[in-house]
């Protein structure tokens, strides 16, 4: 007899702590799946409370609301099996998946492998699970596990397969970084081939503080073939019909499961969930959303991260200082895509050092984006500031970088004054190359509420900006912005390369040191000048105090500043000594 199972993977955009709205979304997707005659629907990890809840997990009232919500959801679930992530509160708390059918929670799976690396800190909060169930759904055997559990070859999925699981469902909340989607799909494909089972992987979508979840939920066959993929960076419901009968045929020709069978006996619980139901007459045609280029993925991550940070925190508009440079141009473009032009305001703040070309480029960008702008010149404010400081404190001391920083701080004050008056959120425009080296002014260009491109190296800023223009089909960001030398324009004839190495050289060194933790000697062996490498390392290390005071921003690399990379400010270790 042919066994078929119709599976739905739901990837809604949840809000941490908004139990009512999260429950509404879950039930809405369940109702949609029921209309499609789905057998089993799965939601991401911690769908009920939102992810990651961090120290909200230490608040009993938060935990109680979570338990109340999952109970209310269960009452609304009928003749469909729903796998819903939540926090189970018992003698301790567990990162859990509720298996719901016919208005009750049939069973609860507890996450076994609790990650404590990168942005994850689950050992801080949760107790680990100690049981591995397999569920019978419509005469098919289904294993359920959570996120990190699937990353271990000999983890729960392995034992579920030994116990006969023909489908493994992994509910996940896997944050985006460049290359993660492709790596994730390769790993799951390998797990499908190892287990000789279908694997359905459901991922979260949306922005939460610095993190962005890219969705892209998918299903692989026992041969490791991708047979369905949901939308990237968008809410979606992916439905796939799986020929569960094919698993037995494949396993008859591959003895691995048979050879190990029996090892799982003391580890597996077998739980009946839902009875047989006749298969559907018409199968659902599998849908595979095409992948994106690296630049397109980053662009979408930045848009989603910005949109959700602004909207979920209740801001009506955002404010950006427009310099006519590539960084502020890209941030303005991202904000406009995320929020619409009516919610983005640009502020031009020219000084005596601002070139005519920069003003023209900023004005052209604003016109192309259709955003409102204000112009607030800072020359008189700057001169008054210097005059009073000379009179009261400095005397005849020569000008230096202090006067450059004053200009940045005047601009920061102007932006924050407008922000305070209207309640708009200031988006900062510093990139990762600058933040790494401290080429930014505290309480100046670092002043703001959200740092859109703080994890994007300067060379990647150009690539993403070019990708944006290409996707829009015209030069929204003016051509001259791409070709003129980068400059802060804080003194006559200033260029970034007066202070920093060329970005084409700087960025690979920063990637090696900041993101890959390569030793000094290894970086030099890559072909870089030893003294230059020392200089860059010194800049990175001595500016940790600045980065601690920077606003949050979207994580797009495997190692971002903030939660990802944690180094002491007071630190005498020198990698090159």
Report, in angstroms and rounded to the nearest whole number, the Rg of the chain calculated over CA atoms: 27
Q: Is residue 387 part of a domain?
A: no
Q: Is residue 386 part of a domain?
A: no
Phi-psi region of 215 (alpha: psi -120 to 50; beta: other; left: phi over 0): left
| Neighbour tally for 194: CB within 10 Å | 18
Domain that holds residue 516: 294-377+411-548
| Catalytic option among 140, 141, 147, 312 | 147
pLDDT of residue 1: 64
CB 556 within 8 A of CB 455: yes
Together in a domain, 445 and 518: yes
Active site residue 111: yes
Together in a domain, 102 and 250: yes
Q: Is residue 497 part of a domain?
A: yes
* CATH number of domain containing 514: 3.40.50.620
Together in a domain, 481 and 421: yes
Q: Is residue 405 part of a domain?
A: no
As a whole number of angstroms, the distance between CA 198 and CA 562 comes to: 37
CB within 8 A of 367, min separation 6: which ones?
Answer: none
Together in a domain, 44 and 103: yes
pLDDT of residue 567: 86
CB within 8 A of 483, min separation 6: which ones?
Answer: none
If you search the block for the tokens 């988006």, which residue do you land on? 427
Give the burial string for 106-128 (b: 16+ CB within 10 Å, else e): bbbbbbbbbeeeebbbbeebbbe
pLDDT of residue 309: 97
Q: What are phi and psi of 80, to 5 degrees?
A: -145, 145
Number of domains in the chain: 2
Provide the token pair at 529. 């000048």
Three-class secondary structure of residue 372 per DSSP: strand
As a whole number of angstroms, the distance between CA 316 and CA 343 comes to: 7
Three-class secondary structure of residue 344 per DSSP: strand
Please confirm whether the linkage preceding 52 is cis (ω < 30° from 0). yes
Together in a domain, 237 and 335: no
Average pLDDT of adjacent 10-residue blocks, the chain of 577 residues:
89 96 97 94 97 94 96 95 96 96 96 89 91 93 96 92 94 95 95 95 96 96 96 97 91 79 70 84 87 96 97 96 96 98 97 92 96 96 92 90 92 96 96 94 93 96 97 95 86 84 95 94 94 94 92 93 85 82
pLDDT of residue 262: 64
CB 450 within 8 A of CB 306: yes
Last residue of some domain: 274, 307, 334? 274
Together in a domain, 175 and 259: yes
Active site residue 497: no
Three-class secondary structure of residue 553 per DSSP: strand
| Catalytic option among 45, 88, 166, 185 | 45
Together in a domain, 184 and 323: no
Together in a domain, 245 and 113: yes
pLDDT of residue 263: 57
Three-class secondary structure of residue 30 per DSSP: helix
Together in a domain, 158 and 195: yes
| Catalytic option among 3, 25, 88, 111 | 111
Q: Is residue 498 part of a domain?
A: yes
Closest by Cα among 328, 323, 332, 329 to 303: 332
| Neighbour tally for 395: CB within 10 Å | 8
Q: Is residue 569 part of a domain?
A: no
Together in a domain, 434 and 299: yes
Together in a domain, 510 and 445: yes
Together in a domain, 78 and 139: yes
Active site residue 234: no
Sign of the dihedral through C-alpha 354, 367, 459, 319: positive
* CATH number of domain containing 257: 3.60.110.10
Q: Is residue 465 part of a domain?
A: yes
Q: Is residue 326 part of a domain?
A: yes
As a whole number of angstroms, the distance between CA 424 and CA 73 comes to: 37
């Amino acid at each position: 007899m042919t066994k078929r199972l119709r599976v739905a993977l739901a990837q809604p955009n949840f809000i941490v702590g908004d139990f009512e709205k999260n429950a509404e979304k879950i039930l809405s997707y369940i109702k949609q799946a029921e209309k499609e005659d789905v057998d089993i629907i799965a939601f991401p990890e911690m769908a009920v409370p939102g992810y990651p809840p961090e120290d909200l997990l230490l608040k009993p009232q938060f935990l109680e609301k979570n338990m109340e919500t999952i109970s209310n959801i269960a009452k609304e679930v009928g003749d469909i099996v729903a796998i819903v992530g939540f926090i189970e509160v018992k003698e301790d708390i567990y990162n859990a998946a509720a298996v719901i059918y016919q208005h009750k929670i049939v069973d609860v799976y507890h996450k076994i492998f609790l990650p404590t690396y990168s942005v994850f800190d689950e050992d801080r909060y949760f107790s680990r699970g100690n049981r591995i169930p397999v569920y019978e759904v419509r005469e098919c055997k289904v294993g359920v596990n959570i996120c990190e559990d699937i990353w271990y070859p000999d983890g729960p999925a392995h034992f579920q397969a030994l116990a006969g699981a023909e489908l493994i469902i992994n509910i996940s909340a896997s944050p985006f970084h460049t290359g993660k989607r492709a790596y994730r799909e390769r790993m799951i494909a390998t797990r499908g081939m190892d287990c000789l089972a279908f694997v359905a992987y459901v991922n979260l979508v949306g922005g939460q503080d610095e993190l962005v979840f890219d969705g892209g939920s998918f299903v692989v066959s026992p041969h490791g073939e991708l047979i369905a993929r949901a939308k990237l960076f968008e809410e979606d419901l992916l439905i796939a019909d799986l020929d569960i009968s094919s698993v037995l045929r494949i396993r008859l020709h591959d003895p691995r499961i048979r050879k190990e069978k029996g090892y799982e006996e003391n580890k597996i619980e077998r739980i009946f969930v839902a009875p047989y139901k006749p298969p559907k007459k018409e199968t659902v045609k599998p849908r595979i959303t095409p992948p994106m280029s690296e630049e397109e993925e980053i662009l979408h991550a930045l848009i989603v991260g910005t949109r959700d940070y602004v909207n979920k925190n209740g801001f009506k508009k955002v404010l950006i200082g427009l310099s006519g440079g590539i960084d502020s141009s890209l941030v303005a473009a991202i904000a406009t895509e995320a929020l619409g032009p009516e919610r983005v305001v640009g502020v031009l703040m020219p000084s005596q050092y601002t070139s005519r070309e920069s003003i023209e480029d900023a004005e052209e960008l604003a016109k192309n984006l259709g955003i409102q702008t204000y112009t607030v010149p800072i020359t008189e404010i700057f001169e008054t500031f210097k005059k009073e400081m000379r009179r009261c404190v400095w005397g005849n001391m020569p000008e230096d970088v202090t006067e450059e920083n004053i200009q940045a701080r005047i601009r920061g004050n102007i932006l924050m004054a407008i922000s305070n008056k209207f309640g708009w959120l200031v988006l900062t425009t510093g990139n990762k190359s600058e933040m790494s080296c401290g080429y930014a002014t505290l309480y100046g260009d670092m002043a703001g509420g959200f740092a859109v491109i703080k994890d994007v190296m300067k060379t990647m800023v150009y690539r993403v900006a070019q990708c944006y223009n290409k996707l829009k089909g015209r030069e929204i960001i003016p051509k001259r912005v791409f070709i003129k030398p980068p400059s802060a324009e804080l003194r006559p004839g200033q260029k970034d390369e007066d202070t920093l190495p060329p970005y084409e050289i700087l960025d690979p060194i920063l990637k090696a040191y900041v993101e890959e933790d390569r030793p000094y000697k290894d970086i030099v062996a890559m072909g870089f000048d030893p003294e230059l490498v020392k200089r860059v390392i010194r800049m990175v290390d001595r500016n940790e105090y600045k980065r601690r005071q920077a606003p949050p921003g979207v994580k797009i690399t495997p190692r971002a500043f903030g939660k990802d990379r944690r180094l002491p400010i007071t630190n005498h270790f020198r990698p090159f000594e």
